[in-house]
Each structure stands twice: as structure tokens, then as C-alpha cells.
Amino acid sequence: MPNLRNEPRINSANPDKMSTPNNYIVATAGHIDHGKSTLIEALSGTNPDRLPEEQSRGMTIDLGFAHLLLNDSEEPEKNYSLGLIDVPGHADFVKNMVAGAGSVDIAMFVVAADDGWMPQSEEHLHILTYLNVRNAVVALTKSDSVDDIEFSSEMVSESLKGSVFENAPIIPVCALIGEGIEELREALIQEIKKINPPPDIQKPRLSVDRVFSPKGVGTVITGTMTGGRFTKGQKAIIQPQLSETTIRAIQNHQHEVSESLPGMRTALNIPDVEIRKGKSRSGVKRGDTITIKDIGSPSRRIHVLVERIKRESKAGQIKHAQRIRFHHCSSNISGKLLFFDNIELEPGQKALAEIRLDKPAYTHAGDRFVLRDWSKRFTIAGGTVLDPTPPRRSYRSQEQKEFLETRSSLTNCAKSFLESLITRDKYLPASEILTQSCFSKSHINEALEQTDAINSDHWIFEKKWWLDLIEVAAKRIDTIHNKHPELPGIDINMLRSFMKKHLPDPKLFEILVETLETGEYIRSGTIIRRKDHNPRLPDKLQLAGKRIRDALNLNPLEPPSPKELVQNEDDSSALKFLLETGEAIQLDDKAILISSHFKDSVEKVKSFITSNGPSTAADIRKILGTTRRIVIPFLERLDKEGITRREGDLRSLN
């Protein structure tokens, strides 16, 4: 893959320290004509204005990129690889500014000393605040154009009061003569030290901010790596269209690399994908996200916490069902904002809402976003994604509202997000727990250990809900035992049918039965019962049972036929119980024996054949003292069970 035009060079002053730099993204912010691009060039040696129109007009229109490698003078072994993103300051191109600020670690406010804080300076502050950027450096440019630089600095400091950046260092610089550039670099290092390196949560995402196709190479996309890493040759997914691609090559600031790490400015060569144009649904374009399989899907409905900072804004109130533009990472999608309560949102307020998009967006729970008005004039709000794929018909439901309120109270807490999910859904596959979130697997597992949820192999259950289901099934089994003590238990399929109305997913039934088996219940074949259950005849059948037992015991090997035993319905039920519990054995439709007598007879036959060799049915009938009606089905039973083997008229032991 050739070098990417205007993806700046790595400063090679210290090549021995380039092996493991910490990667961060720094984005400029500020009003048009305050010298952002000039300052970037003074810091890095690269002019970020790559478009001919930008260079001819002297104005940044689209995103520009540069690279700066900083070495820490206090800790020489440390160095920082900074991807510099130059964003446009003109009001007409704020959407491009938001696209560049989507994955920023540090903001570099550029304020001209002679102009001071201007409207786009303020709007950029709003955007960065909504994106949860908390570290910044202010470059007070054109310092040579004013007589009292301290006054200019104080005015900027006053403008930052009450914002998250009110303590940001203000460094006077003159990019044209290099004054203050070293101090600015040092200020950047000090801010970098305050934040952790971009995390690797094994959920790689690259939000596409540029797409182009160098001759002979195929499609190349650029963006900032977040959440994980990509490797050369890896399969990837393009969201939101869910198409698959293969990463043929990777570059970081014009250097071929085998993998791209979190925080890296990254160029991916995906030659099997075309640039998407017009209304085509295939290909790739700015706003798409490159990720991997099995970490979620896009949605046209997103449930969010919308918030407005308490600073002056021309946007006015935000009304329910207002048309908006949803800016997330590098994407910009039109849609409608619907609050869960019929309110009008004022500065300084927060509210739960559903964003209904005109096109699907791929987001993660915990992502930050920016809202601009439909006319593209104002930044009106920002917020946090709470549910990237809400259930159908959940808008304004009490259950979903409670779910979102729990999440909105602690937007960076994996335990809070997990508990809210388990409380709402009651059960879910373990492999899908918070996959579409900004939490790593280790954080999720740690949070899971802190909850009282039940972890059953591949499923997670809300404890009370699951125990209640177990109790329902247990009570059904116990009811059958009480109503029909003569039965060995309840047929599994009968229990399955009964639990169907209680289980939201049929797949849970087997897990439920396995859970019962770990307690007081046992499954034997197709029957499940209490471990201490011993089948017995109910009181009303006791007399019938006694009469049948007495009849079968009176002449053990010459018992009455089944027709003689059964004279009424109670007799039929009692005999069925004796057969099902194994107390009696039915040889055929004319012969039934008590099991103990059958076993005694088997032992006599085995002893006789052992002593006398193969024997006829007549020989065996004589030693048992029975009739042909009994001995023939008796011997056939022994043959079937493999106790004896018939050869002509003789039987020998198997």
C-alpha cells in the first residue's frame, strides 16, 4: 500500500524510541482563521490542509491529519505518539469537526490573541464536553499581534470558567516564528500524563473518516483505532451494512505495521470493498465502522441519556419529537428525538430519550454522541448511549424506563449496566452479555461476580426470577406425587408442556431440569421425581391392591389370569401400579407373577440347568411345579433377557 497523501510522517529524531510509544489523539478546536492548521504545521512539520480548495482558500474544510512524536524530558524512556487531527473552524463545516473529535483524548483549543474567544470556540467547547473530553491545552496563537498577552490570556481564562476546561493551561505561541512551540509540546506531555492510554477491551472499532482508492491498490480507509486491535490478514465486518472484508495491509502514519493498536491513527487496505456512492447499499464510506464479528448489530432506534451543559446557547429549547442530526464518531445521521416524558429540555438539564434514525447506526452502550439541529446551525445537546438495540415496543414502557434510569445514574459502571440488563431481561446467553458495550470481558466478569445472578453454564439468570421458575416446576412434580402417589413421577414431556406458559424460551427447559437434578429431584429415563419419592397405592386402592397381591401369592406359579384379577376400575388401577413399580411382572396377556416369585424361579432354573445340562420346557415345568400356561412365557422371558438360550427343544444358560 503506498504512502497515504497527507497522513504525516513520523518524527524520526529518536528512532530507537519508536518501538512501543503510547498512542493518543489530539484534536484542534477553535474559530476560523485562528491559526489551527499553521500551528499543526509548526508542531509536526506537516501541512494538514490536503485539499486544493483548502490550500487556495487558506481555510480548513475537511479533516486534516498530522503526526507528532513527543519525548518526555522527565522520563526519557517514555515517548508519546500523537495523532493530530485538524478540524475546520468555519460554522458551515462543524459536522466535519464532530467527525474528527469522535475519539479524542486531548483537545487543543486554538484561540487567536487578537480575536479572543469566538462563537466557534464556544461551540467546539460544547462538542468536546458532550464527547466527554476532559483534558485540554489552549494555544493562544498570534501572540505577536497584541501588546498585552496577559490580558488576552485572562480573557480566554474567563471564557473557560465553569467548563470542564477551566483549569487548562494557556500557552502563548506564534507559529510563524516558532515562539512558544516547545512550551506547547511540554504542556501536551503534562496533559497526556493525566490520562490513561486508550484501553484494549478486545472490541476493535475503527470509525471511518476518510475513504479513497489509490491506483492499483484498491480501497483505503482511515480512522482512529479504539477498543482493540486489527491485524494484517484479519477478517473484519463493515457496519452498519454487516458486510465482510479482509484487511490486506495496515499503515500508521505512512509506516507499514502488522497490527493497529488503540489510539493509533490507522489506514486499512480493504481491496475487496468499493467506495460507496450515492444510494448504493454496498461498499464503504465515511461514517461506517470497521469491527469484528459477534459484537453487536446496528439499529435505527437508540435509547440514550440526553444532556445539555449549562452555558449560553443559541439553540433554545429542545422539543419533544424534534428533528435532529445524530453525530456519533464519524457518522452523521438525521433522525427524530423523542423524550420518555413530554418535556422541553433546557440548558443544564438531562432526560431519557429514544433517537429514531433515518438510517441504522452501530453504537455501543457507553458511547458518547452529539446532537445538532436539523438546519445544521447549532450544536444543541450531547449524551450517552444507554441501550444501542432496545427491545421492540419498549419506548416509554415502565420496565425500559427503570432500566434506563439505572444505567443513566452510573454511565461508566459495568456492574450497573449488567444489573439493569439482568433485571430487565431476566435471562440471557452468557456470550451476549454487554458485548455491544464499552466494557471489557474482564470488567464484565468482575461485575458478574459482584451480582447475585445465577450463572448456569452458557446462561445468566436473574436470581429471584429463576428460583421462582424452579419452584413452579418443583411444585408441579410434588402435586403429581400427592395426587398420584402410585406413579413413579411425572413424564418429562408432561412437565415440559406444563412449563411452556412459564418459560419465555423453550431452550430453558433442559437447563431447568438440570437445575432440579442438582437438588432434591432425579431423572430416570423419561420420568422425573423427588429423590425420596416411593410410589404407593392411594388409600382408595389399598383394598384392591391387597386382594390382587393375595391372589398372586396364593399359588405363586399358578396365578389367576389378568381377566380374573381385574373385576372393576380400582382393580385395574391397582394392577397397573404393581406392574409399573415392578412389584409384579407380566409375562404375557395370560400370565402375571409377583416379581419376588419370578426371581426365585429364575434361580431354580439356573441351578437345574447348571447341574443337569440343557433342559426341555417339560423338565423345567416339573421342577417349578407349574403349568405350560406359565412356563412357556416364563422361558421366553428368560430368552429375551439373555438368561437362557434356546437350541431346538433345549435351553442352556447364556
- 232 by Cβ neighbours in 10 Å (0-12 / 13-18 / 19+) ranks as middle
What pLDDT is recorded for position 53? 38
Structure confidence by residue, pLDDT tens digits, 319-348: 999 999 999 998 999 999 999 998 999 999
> What's the confidence (pLDDT) of residue 463?
95
From 432, 241, 240, select the one nearest 328 (Cα to Cα).
Answer: 240
| Secondary structure (H, E, C), 486-544 | CCCCEEHHHHHHHHCCCCCCCCHHHHHHHHHHCCCEEEECCEEEECCCCCCCCHHHHHH
464 has pLDDT over 90: yes
Cα–Cα dist 172/184, whole Å: 8
Q: How many CB atoms lie within 10 A of CB 506?
A: 10
Averaged over 634-642, what is the pLDDT?
94
Q: How far is Cα 617 from Cα 627, in angstroms, rounded to an integer?
A: 10
Full DSSP string of 83-119: EEEE---SGGGHHHHHHHTTT-SEEEEEEETTT-S-H
CA–CA distance, 65 with 48 (Å, rounded to integer):
5
Which single residue is written with the C-alpha cell 438360550?
645
Q: Summarize pLDDT for 68-117 with one digit per residue, the tens.
A: 999 888 888 888 888 888 875 434 435 555 554 557 889 999 999 999 99
Residue 149 is placed in which grid cell? 498577552
In SS3 terms, 337-364 reads as EEECCCCEECCCCEEEEEEEEEEEECCC
Q: What are 400-441's pLDDT values in tens digits?
A: 999 999 999 998 999 999 999 999 999 999 988 999 999 999
Q: Are 338 and 351 in contact (CB under 8 A)?
A: no
Lowest mean pLDDT among 13-17, 81-85, 264-268, 479-483: 13-17
Q: Report, as an integer, the average pLDDT of 552-572.
A: 91
- Please provide residue 421's backbone torsions phi and psi, each rounded to the nearest 5 degrees: -70, -45
Asked whether the beta carbons of 271 and 21 are under 8 A apart, the reply is no
Return the top range by mean pLDDT from 35-39, 44-48, 178-182: 178-182
The whole-number average pLDDT for the span 27-33 is: 83
Q: Which of 264, 240, 249, 232 is nearest to 20 (CA)?
A: 264
Dump pLDDT digits (tens) for 175-217. Answer: 888 899 999 999 999 999 999 888 999 999 999 988 988 888 8
- Across the range 459-469, mean pLDDT stands at 96
Q: Which of 21-30, 118-127, 268-277 has the lowest mean pLDDT?
A: 21-30
* pLDDT attached to residue 64: 77
Percent of the chain with pLDDT over 90: 67
Q: Check residue 98 and give its pLDDT.
A: 59
Instruction: List, in order of start, the domains of the chain with CATH numbers.
Output: 15-192 (3.40.50.300), 205-291 (2.40.30.10), 300-411 (2.40.30.10), 463-530 (1.10.10.10), 555-653 (1.10.10.10)
Average pLDDT over the chain reads 88
Q: What is the mean pLDDT of residues 44-52?
A: 64
* Residue 204: DSSP 8-state: -
Q: How confident is the model at residue 299 (pLDDT cuts 50, 70, 90)?
A: very high
Radius of gyration of the chain (CA): 39
Predicted local confidence at residue 452, as pLDDT: 92
Which pLDDT score, from 0 to 100, does residue 102 have?
Answer: 54
Coil, helix or strand at residue 579: helix
Per the structure block, which three cell numbers stand in for 334?
438525521
Helix, coil or strand: residue 252: strand
Is the pLDDT assigned to residue 614 strictly greater than 80? yes
Q: What is the dihedral of CA 95, 100, 105, 111, to 10 degrees?
A: -70
- Mean pLDDT over 627-632 rounds to 93
Confidence band, pLDDT 50/70/90 cuts, at residue 448: very high
Say what the alpha-carbon torsion angle 192, 196, 201, 205 is, to the nearest 10 degrees: -20
How far apart, in whole angstroms, are the C-alpha atoms of residue 8 and residue 252? 9
Among 5-19, 105-119, 351-365, 500-514, the least confident range? 5-19
Local structure of 615: helix, strand or coil = strand
Binned at pLDDT 50, 70 and 90, residue 248 comes out as very high
Question: Which pLDDT belongs to residue 255?
Answer: 86
